Structure 1
Amino acid sequence: MGAEASPAARTGAFIAVAVALFCIQLDFFALNLAVPGIADEFGVTASAAQWTLSAYMLAIGCCFIVGGRVGDVFGRRGALLAGTALFAAGSVGCALAPGLWALVGARIVQGVGAGFVFPVSVAVITNAFPDAIRTRALGAVFGIANVGTALGPFVGGGFTEGPGWRWIFWLLAPLSVLALAVAYVYVPDSRDPTAPRQLDLIGCATVVCALAALTLAVERGSAWGWDHARTLTLLALFAVAAALFVRREPRARHPLIDLGLFRNTPYVLVTGTGTVTNMGYAVTVFVSTLYLQQVRGLSPLEAGLVFLAPAALVALSGPLGARLSGHMRPVSVMALAGALAGTGMIVLSLVTAWWLYVPVFAWCGLGLGLGWTFASVATQQVVSPERAGEASGVLLTFLVTLGGVALAAAASAITAMVPERSPDAAYDAILRCGGAVILAASVVVLVVRHRLADAAGIGGGAPPSGAPRSAGARAHGGGAGSRSSHDGRLP
C-alpha cells in the first residue's frame, strides 16, 4: 500500500482500523466490571467467572506475534478481515452463550481475532500513510481506540446494573461488522515484498506454546497457588518452549521473528519503557477498581463514572504523543510519559479528598496512556514498514504478557499484605512501588540513550518535523534474508 494508497483508501483504512481497535479496547475494559454479574447469572463462583478474562488473555497473548507476521507475509488486508470477522463472531457467541464454558469458548474466539487485528492494524496504517503524516495518523487511531478505554468501565458498569452484561457484546457485534465492511471495501492489500509466502510453523508452535503456558500460569497462579504443581509445570513448559524458540529462529529459513530486532537499540528502549509503563497502567486500573468499590463503597456504575476522568486523558494521549514526536525523540517522549505516570501513581496513593483524587487520577491516565500508546507509534518509527506487523506483534506481546505478570504480582501482594494492613493501605503501597519502578525505568532509558549517543558522537536534537525516515532510521528489515540491526541512529 504505502504512499501510493489513494486518499479514499487511506480514509477507509483509518476508519476500519479505528473502529476495530475501539471495539477491542471497549470489550476489555467493560468486561472487567461485568464478572460479578456473569457469576450471578450462571450460578458460579467469582473465580470460575474469571475464566472469561483469563481465556481471552490466553488467546490474545498467543496471537500477537503470529498475527503480525502472518499479515506481513501473506497480506495485511486478509489478516485484518479474518481477525475482525473472528472478533465479530466471538461477540455474537458471547451474547448468546447459554453457560459459562460456552462464554469462555466464545471469548477465546474473540481473543484470537483481536490478536490478529491489533498488530495488523498498526501495520496497515504504517503502510497506508506516507512518512510525513504517518505518526499523526497512528496517534489519531489510538486516540479513537482509547475512547473505548474511556467508555469501557462506564459501559460495563452500566450494562451490568441495567439490561445485563450480554448487551456489552450486542454493542460490539454491529460495530465489528461495520469495521469489517469498511475494511473489505477500502483497505488495499500490502505485505513484505522481500518475504516468501512461507511461515515458520515450528516457530509458531513453540512461541504459541511458550506464551500460552506463561499466560495461563500468570492468570491462574493466584487461584491455584504459585507453588501448585499445575503452576510450576506451566512455568517449566514456558521455559523449555521459549528456549527452543530462541534456539530455532536464527537457524530457520523463514524465521517468525528476526532476532536482529533486539539489536535495534531504539526499538529495545521504547519497548522496554512502554512495557514498564503498561505494567503500571494495568496495576493502577486493577487497584483503583478495588479501592473505589471496596474502600469507597461505589457501585460498578459509579466506579465507571470516576474512571471517565483518567480515561478521557488516555484517549487524548494518542494525538498528544504524535504531536510531541515532531519536537522530541521517541525515547524522550517515553521518558516524559514515565515521569508523568510514576509521579501520578505516587501522588494518587497520598490523596483521599475527591476534589484531589479525581484530577490526580486523570493525571495518571495521561502519563500511563501516553506510555503504552506512544510505544506502538514509536516502534513504527524505528523499523521498516515491511516488518511493521512483526515489530508491532512483538511489542504487544511484551505489553500484554508482562502486564498480566504485573497484575498477578499486585494481586498476590494484596493477599499477603491485607491480614496485617487495611486494604487501602495495601493499595497505596502497591501504587507507590509501581510509581517508583516506572520513574526508575524512565531515568535508566534516558541515561542509556545519552551514553550511547555520546559514544557515537550523535547530537540529541529533535528530528525535523515531517522528515522522512532515512535508511538508518529503518534499522530493521530490508532485503531478503536481512538480519540488519540498528545502525547507531538513536531515538
Structure 2
Amino acid sequence: MGATSAGPAPGTTGHAGVLSAVSIALFCIQLDFFALNLAIPGISTELHVTVSAAQWTLSAYMLAIGCLFIVGGRLGDLFGRRPVLLTGIALFAAASVGCALAPSLGLLVAARVAQGVGAALIFPVSVSVITNAFPEATRARALGAAFAIANVGTAVGPFAGGGFTDGPGWRWIFWLLAPLSAVSLALALWYVPDSRDDRAPRQIDLPGCLTVVTGLAALTLAVERGSAWGWDHPRTLVLYAVAALCGALFVRRERTCRHPLVDFALFRNVPFDLVTVMGSVSNMGYAVTVFLATLQLQQLRGLSALLAGTVFLAPALMVACTGPLGAWFSTRLRPTTVMALAGAVAGSGMIGLSLVRAWWLYIPAFTWCALGLGLGWTFASVATQQVIPPARAGEASGVVLTALVVLGAIALAAVASAITALTPETGPERAYDAILRTGGTIILAASVLAALISRRLAARGLVPSPRRA
C-alpha cells in the first residue's frame, strides 16, 4: 500500500488502546466546541468585554482548524502519524490549561488558537491512524466507534457548557478537557504505532502550506466575521480578494510542484469527489438545521436554554449513533450509496421539520433529520478511507474535513443573511421554514444525483463493493 508502520503491533489489546486514545481526543474536540457556545455570555461578563468581542473565542478556534486541516493531515502522512498525533494532543491539553487560566480576552483567544492548531493536527491524523492500524475487515467498524464516542461530545457539550457556566464557571470546561486530553496522550504514547507514506520524501511543500493556510484563513475570517462587519465592508472584500488570490497561487503551485501538499490526482477519484460533496452538503445542512432549531425553540416557542437543550438530546444521541450505524452500513452497501441514502433521509427530514408545529411531531422530525445529517457528515470520513489508499489517508482526510468545516461556515453565513433579508417581509417563523425547505430540497436533489452516479460507477467497477466483517 505504500505505508510503513513502526511501534507495538496492535493486537487485540493494542487495537483497543489505539481506539481509546483516538476516541477520547476526538471527544474532547467535539465537547470543546459545543460546550463553549453556551459560555459566551459568561465569558463576556467575567472578562468585561462585549458579547461580540467574546465571540472571538469561537472564531479564533474555527480559524485555526479551518486553515490547518490539510497541512495537519499531510504532515502525518509524511513525517509519521504517531508524532503528529502526540504533538496535537499535547498542544490541545496545554492550550486547555492556558484557556482555564487566561486572565484576559486576548490571552484566552491566543490559547484558543493554540487549541485549534492542536485539533487540526488531531482530527485528520486520528482518522489515518485508525485506517493504518486496523485491518480492512474491521477498519470501518473502528472508525464508526471512534466517531460515535466523539459525537457523544456533541450531545454532552451544550449541557456541560450551560451547567459549568451557570455553576462553577466557564473555566471548568477547560479544566475538564485538560485531564481527558492527558489520558488520551498517555494511551497514544503507549499504544499508537507509527505509520507514514513511504513513497514520499520527508519534506513538506512550504510555499503550498503558506498559500493554502493564508487563503483559508482569509476565507474563514471573512465568513465568520462578515455578518458583523458587513458583507460589503472593505475589510470583508479585501479578505475575499486575498482568499481568491491565494487559492489561484495554491492551484498553480500544486500543479507544478514535484512533491505537492495536495496531489490533484486525488480529485480524479470520482468516488472520493462524491463522498466529499455529499459529506459537505450534509454538514452544511446540519449546521443550518441546528442553528435554526435553536432560534425556533428559544425565540418562537419561548423555551429556556435548559429546555431547548432537552429537546436537542434525542437528535444529538441519534447523531452519536450514526457512527456505528455507518460502520454497519459499510459492510452491506457501497460507500457512495450510503452517502446518497443519508442525503435522502436528511433532505426529507429538513422539509418535514419546516412543516410540523405540534411537539409530538417536532421532536421525531428533528430526530429523523439528525439521523440523515449526522450519518452524512460522520460517514464521510469513513467512506473516504474506503475509496483512497491508506498511504494517503491523512491527506484525503484533511481535504474532506477542510471542505466540511469551511462550507459549513459559509452555509451559516448565508443563512444569517437570508434571515436578515426575509424576516421583515415574512416574519421569523416563515423565514426559518423557507430556509429549511430550500436546504432540504437541495440535499434531496444532491442525493438523487449521487445515487445515479453511484449506480453508474458501480456498473463500471469504479467504486469498492461492501466487505462483510
Q: 1:9-28 CA deviation, whole Å, 9 max, x = no partner? A: 22211000000000101111
Partner of 2:75: 70
CA contact (8 A) 1:154 1:308 kept: no
Q: 1:154–1:54: structure 2 CA closer, same or farther, 3 Å change rule? A: same
- 2:386/2:464 contact within 8 Å kept: no
Q: Would you say 1:242 and 2:247 are equivalent positions?
A: yes
SS of 2:193's partner is coil
User: Is residue 380 of structure 1 aligned with residue 372 of structure 2?
Assistant: no
Q: Is the partner of 1:191 in helix, strand or coil?
A: strand
Cross-structure match for 1:470: none
Alpha-carbon deviation of 1:359? Answer: 1.5
- Structure 2 residue corresponding to 1:355, chosen from 341, 354, 360: 360
Which residue of structure 2 aligns with residue 310 of structure 1?
Answer: 315
Q: Does 1:52 align with 2:60?
A: no
Match of 2:337 among 329, 332, 339: 332
Give per-residue Cα distances to partners, 1:45-89, cap 9 Å, x unaligned. 222121111111100011100000000000101100111111111
Does 1:217 find its partner at 2:197? no
| 2:127 paired with 1:125 | no
Structure 2: gaps of 5 or more residues: none
Q: Tell me, which stretches of 5 or more residues in structure 1 are unaligned?
A: 467-491
SS at match of 1:15: helix
Contact kept? 1:161, 1:301, Cα under 8 Å: no
Alignment partners' CA distance in 2, 1:164 and 1:412: 33
Give me the TM-score of the superposition, normalised by structure 1: 0.92
Partner Cα separation in structure 2 for residue 233 and residue 439 of structure 1: 35
Partner of 1:392: 397
How far did residue 407 of structure 1 move?
0.6
1:4 deviates by: 5.2
Give the match's secondary structure for 1:349: helix
> 2:271·2:463 contact (CA, 8 Å) conserved in 1?
no
Q: Which amino acid aligns with 1:173?
A: A
Please give the root-mean-square deviation of Cα atoms over the aligned residues, in Å: 1.6
Structure 1 runs, 4 residues or longer, greater than 4 Å off: 458-462
Q: Is the 8 A contact 1:158 1:300 kept in 2?
A: no
Quick one: which of 196, 199, 205 aligns to 1:200?
205
How far apart, CA to CA, are the structure 1 residues paired with 2:101 and 2:55?
A: 18
Return the letter of the residue paired with 1:58: L
Partner of 1:480: none
| SS, match of residue 419 in structure 1 | helix
**Within the alignment, does 1:301 sit opposite 2:306 as a pair?**
yes
Give yes or no for the alignment of 1:170 onto 2:175: yes
* Cα offset, 1:373, TM superposition: 0.5
Q: How many residues align?
A: 464
- Are residue 185 (structure 1) and residue 166 (structure 2) matched? no
Structure 2 residue 94 is matched with structure 1 residue 89: yes
Identity level (%)? 69
Partner of 2:149: 144
Whether contact under 8 Å (1:91, 1:170) holds in the other structure is yes
Q: Distance in 1 between matches of 2:189 and 2:463?
A: 43
Q: If each structure's helix is expressed as a fraction of its own residues, which one has the higher value?
A: 2
Match of 2:450 in 1: 445
**Pick aligned residue for 1:35 from 34, 37, 40:** 40
Q: CA deviation at 1:405?
A: 0.2
Matched, 1:426 2:431: yes
Verify the 8 A CA contact 1:328 1:461 in the aligned structure 2.
no
Distance 1:114 1:43 in 2: 28
1:478 aligns with none
Distance of 1:422 and 1:359 partners within structure 2: 25
Q: Is the 8 A contact 1:270 1:375 kept in 2?
A: yes
Report deviation, 1:244: 0.6
Provide the C-alpha distance between the structure 2 equivalents of 1:291 and 1:36, rounded to a whole number of angstroms.
20
Which residue of structure 2 lines up, in the alignment, with residue 8 of structure 1?
A: 13
When the two structures are superposed, what TM-score results if normalisation uses the length of structure 2?
Answer: 0.96
Equivalence for 1:463: 466
440-449 vs 173-182, greater mean Cα deviation: 440-449
